[in-house]
Structure 1
Amino acid sequence: MASNPVRVLIVDDSALIRKMLTEMLSRDPDIEVIGTAQDPYVAREKIKSLNPDVITLDIEMPKMDGIEFLKKIMKLRPMPVLMVSSLTQQGADATLHALEIGAVDYVAKPTQDLQHGLAEKCEEITSKVKAAAAARVQSRPGGKPARIQRLSSAPGYRSTETVVAIGASTGGVEALTNVLTVLPPDSPAILVTQHMPASFTRSFARRLDGICAINVTEARDGVRVLPGHAYLAPGDQHLQLSRSGANYTCRIGGQERVSGHCPSVDVLFRSVADCAGNNAIGVILTGMGKDGAKGLLAMRQAGARTLGQNEASSVVYGMPRVAQEIGAVEEQLSLSQIPRRILEICVSEKGKAIRV
């Protein structure tokens, strides 16, 4: 028996955007657009009467902006919300705030040739709407972060010999924030690939750097990889680990899509498998699709320790699920357990070369 289609409410002050999104989503037999609204006040009444499965929500609207409306949704009636925002710096900052409040994902609205640019995103938008419908939504009223309980290094801890590679997609903003903010300043070097556009990764790195004990930057080509630092892949290029003499460095380059993405988690993980072998830890977090699964398997086969986020704590249990199914994950843990396990592995020399 076929499952019911995903029922979507489109909220946007632009009549053109509402029309385009309606036509685009309605082409998919698994999606039904049940209504549109030009502002949050109309949307509020339609949410009550239509009970949608997913809302697409514009950030910049009259009367009440999307951020304020999202706060009310997450407080009064938590439900999957897909943000529609511009690729500008202001749009990036607002979108990251929305993801912290509780939005599941976002679609970057083109800044030029809106009609053609949005049409090119048809597959991305429909897949994100379907993923949002299955996501685990948690209320975070006002987007206020919880008090950070930072971990301390254990006796015998050594970070200098270990490189940590982390991959994430849908739900990754919250997941990465939860992992990186609790790590101590002498944490191992960390390389991160998160699926997002270039302007978003710059903003995300700055936001993380302001709340983490470690230094967080957008990765640059040739930069030495050091303990106490996290390097985030630029949104439009691949990040790889490389060697320069006795040192690890970041290698940035290539814009081709690998496993459907640029930057790609698979590209990062495979480079870490090649360069760091059993001196590495691979972590695959929440996300839609399968990017990173084969790369994590390559890491495990090279002797690295590999961790996967479990289903219960994932916003979208896609990437971790595929990695688990192919045998790439050595240990499956809740999100809250992952930072401490990373530090424990750095302490223990035993079992560091566990192989498949």
Structure 2
Amino acid sequence: MSISVLIVDDSAVVREILSQMLSTAPDLEVIGAAPDPIFAMTRMKLRWPDVVILDIEMPRMDGLTFLRKIMEERPTPVIICSSLTEKGARITLDAMSAGAVAIITKPTVNLKSFLQEAAKELIQEVRDAAGARMGAFKRIATSARGGEHQPAPKLTADVVLEAPSGLEKYRTTEKIIAIGTSTGGTQALEYLLPRLPATCPGVAVVQHMPEKFTASFAERLNRLCKVEVREAKNGDRLISGVALIAPGGKHLLVKRSGAQYVAEVKDGPLVSRHRPSVDVLFRSVAVNAGNNAIGVIMTGMGDDGARGMREMHDAGARTLAQDEESCVVFGMPNEAIGHGGVDEVMSLERITHTLAGIRG
């Protein structure tokens, strides 16, 4: 059975390229390409799509308003197609909070060649989005208000740092929390982090998100939280009451400096096809914190974090995975469970309650 897709973008070039590109996949069917949300709503009355690809800035009605209408009427996987600008990043984060499941970052120049080269990745984004559990998003959101391009080789965390040797010494009892998430993670983090007390251990977070979006995301969370939330910088201390968000396009590691934990932000290859990678963060925590750490893997596509969580588990850390019912996408937690690295599987609400009870 094919996946039906509706494209909503005021650029005729984007509509044409995306339509042609998606039509090359036998399991995808483009049922319309609308220049703005008003046209799109008319088209959706005839046939509701499985996935919507949506621009943000459009005439007559902006994409964010349209997204909220979709989520109120009939929650549907929406992929945001947005340019990488500071203003666009903030608006796109509002869209992610409102229910968008993924971001396609289109450049402001050489747009046609970019879309053509990224065809395989974009087609896979649509396939993955079609499997999102939008009912889970709705529950989280309600609670919170209360040329053919070859994919990158799937490298492991070995390309960034060595695996734990089993000889590590943990000369401190200070706790830290490491969290990894992807699709649906912006909503999950907006539920979890504001409920943590200022006395909680230092938190390191990898949320799969493009460059330029993470700083705005951290600022957004900081306005909602009792803990201080900021985009991680090299040398930042990971201390009680502080949550550090991995910068888009960089790996985040936790290192030791005497008895203190500090952030290391570095370049490097994609790991598990991501940068930042959850596997890299989790491995660094396994090596440098061991049984002083709590690892949490939440909603997301793929298997990033599964190997790193097993390494944390084997180093003595307590490891938690979000359950299927509360995930928008159960892929990452399910893979971590399959690798044997998860101590407990629990709902997002229970994860939040558990972390809120831990003192730094």
- The more displaced of 227-236 and 96-105 is 96-105
Correspondence 1:131-170 to 2 at 5 A: 131-138=128-135, 146-147=144-145, 161-170=174-183
Structure 2 distance, partners of 1:295, 1:49, is 46
State the match for 1:29 in structure 2.
Answer: 26
Structure 2 distance, partners of 1:55, 1:239, is 32
Structure 2 distance, partners of 1:275, 1:309, is 24
Structure 2 distance, partners of 1:35, 1:62, is 18
State the match for 1:15 in structure 2.
Answer: 12
1:46 and 2:49 are equivalent in the alignment? no
Structure 2 distance, partners of 1:223, 1:305, is 24
The one-character-per-residue Cα deviations of 1:37-94 (angstroms, maximum 9, x if unpaired) are: 1111110011111221111111011111101111111112221111111110111111
State the match for 2:340 in structure 1.
Answer: 327
AA aligned to 1:318 is G
State the match for 2:297 in structure 1.
Answer: 284
State the match for 1:114 in structure 2.
Answer: 111
Which residue of the other structure, out of 90, 93, 98, is the alignment partner of 2:95?
98
- Judged with a 3 Å threshold, the aligned counterparts in structure 2 of structure 1 residues 225 and 259 are, in CA distance, closer, same or farther, namely same
3-state secondary structure, aligned to 2:7:
strand
- Judged with a 3 Å threshold, the aligned counterparts in structure 2 of structure 1 residues 160 and 225 are, in CA distance, closer, same or farther, namely farther
Which residue of the other structure, out of 186, 204, 217, is the alignment partner of 2:230?
217
2:248/2:276 contact within 8 Å kept = yes
State the match for 2:210 in structure 1.
Answer: 197
How far off its partner does 1:281 sit? 0.4
Which residue of the other structure, out of 121, 126, 137, is the alignment partner of 1:124?
121
State the match for 2:60 in structure 1.
Answer: 63
How far off its partner does 1:105 sit? 1.7
Which residue of the other structure, out of 279, 285, 298, is the alignment partner of 1:272?
285
AA aligned to 1:28 is A
- Judged with a 3 Å threshold, the aligned counterparts in structure 2 of structure 1 residues 107 and 145 are, in CA distance, closer, same or farther, namely farther
State the match for 1:260 in structure 2.
Answer: 273
Report the RMSD for the aligned CA atoms in angstroms. Answer: 1.9
TM, length-normalised to structure 1: 0.90
State the match for 1:151 in structure 2.
Answer: none
The one-character-per-residue Cα deviations of 1:76-129 (angstroms, maximum 9, x if unpaired) are: 222111111111011111111011111222211112211112223323321221
The one-character-per-residue Cα deviations of 1:235-270 (angstroms, maximum 9, x if unpaired) are: 011000001112111011123101100010000000
The list of structure 1 runs, each at least 4 consecutive aligned residues, that deviate by more than 6 angstroms after superposition, is: none
- Judged with a 3 Å threshold, the aligned counterparts in structure 2 of structure 1 residues 147 and 40 are, in CA distance, closer, same or farther, namely closer
How far off its partner does 1:160 sit? 6.9
- Which consecutive residues of structure 1, in runs of 5 or more, have no partner in the other structure? 149-158, 348-356
1:245 and 2:242 are equivalent in the alignment? no
Structure 1 distance, partners of 2:142, 2:183, is 20
State the match for 1:235 in structure 2.
Answer: 248
How far off its partner does 1:227 sit? 0.7
Which residue of the other structure, out of 239, 242, 253, is the alignment partner of 1:226?
239
Which residue of the other structure, out of 86, 89, 103, is the alignment partner of 1:89?
86
AA aligned to 2:209 is M
3-state secondary structure, aligned to 1:287:
coil
Structure 1 distance, partners of 2:138, 2:335, is 28
AA aligned to 2:12 is A
- Judged with a 3 Å threshold, the aligned counterparts in structure 2 of structure 1 residues 22 and 147 are, in CA distance, closer, same or farther, namely closer
TM, length-normalised to structure 2: 0.89
3-state secondary structure, aligned to 1:216:
strand
How far off its partner does 1:344 sit? 4.2
How far off its partner does 1:199 sit? 0.7
State the match for 1:74 in structure 2.
Answer: 71
- Judged with a 3 Å threshold, the aligned counterparts in structure 2 of structure 1 residues 19 and 230 are, in CA distance, closer, same or farther, namely same
3-state secondary structure, aligned to 2:244:
strand
3-state secondary structure, aligned to 2:302:
coil
State the match for 1:156 in structure 2.
Answer: none
Structure 2 distance, partners of 1:76, 1:294, is 39
**Count, aligned residues:** 333
Q: Percent identity?
A: 51
Structure 2 distance, partners of 1:255, 1:20, is 31
Structure 1 distance, partners of 2:102, 2:13, is 22
State the match for 1:184 in structure 2.
Answer: 197
Structure 2 distance, partners of 1:338, 1:85, is 32
Structure 2 distance, partners of 1:63, 1:344, is 48
Structure 1 distance, partners of 2:287, 2:93, is 33
- The more displaced of 97-106 and 294-303 is 97-106
